[in-house]
Structure 1
């Protein structure tokens, strides 16, 4: 079946081909250090909903500029994140 082989081929080329979203648990520093990984994430953000886990409110703008849809934060740090404008 053409449709099945088409989807299988796309999934082999691009592992996140048919996902609805993705959560990134790697920190800002790791993404910045690895240029290929950062570019990969930026491209993912264009086509998919990507959320990042972040513990430091100072990094909000980094993730925003990368294009993530939203952030997952520690419940204990919600007040810190609410204080920051972004």
Structure 2
């Protein structure tokens, strides 16, 4: 699995032809072709970020959808 710093993850925001990646609990997921993510955005959340806290604090589905999304890497310290 590829390792990303949080700074590197910012490049994968789903804009200008870039893939859309998000991080949750130290794992990086590819949401580029996910129908719920348009132009790197999903209900006010933006790809290229660690969405752990918003996922658990604000999302009605929590982490139940992550099993359907391909993990492509991890966050390195």
Greater strand fraction, Structure 1 or Structure 2: 2
Q: Which has the higher contact order (CA 8 A, sep 6+)?
A: 2
When the two structures are superposed, what TM-score results if normalisation uses the length of structure 1?
0.25
**Structure label with greater radius of gyration:** 1
Greater helix fraction, Structure 1 or Structure 2: 1
When the two structures are superposed, what TM-score results if normalisation uses the length of structure 2?
0.27
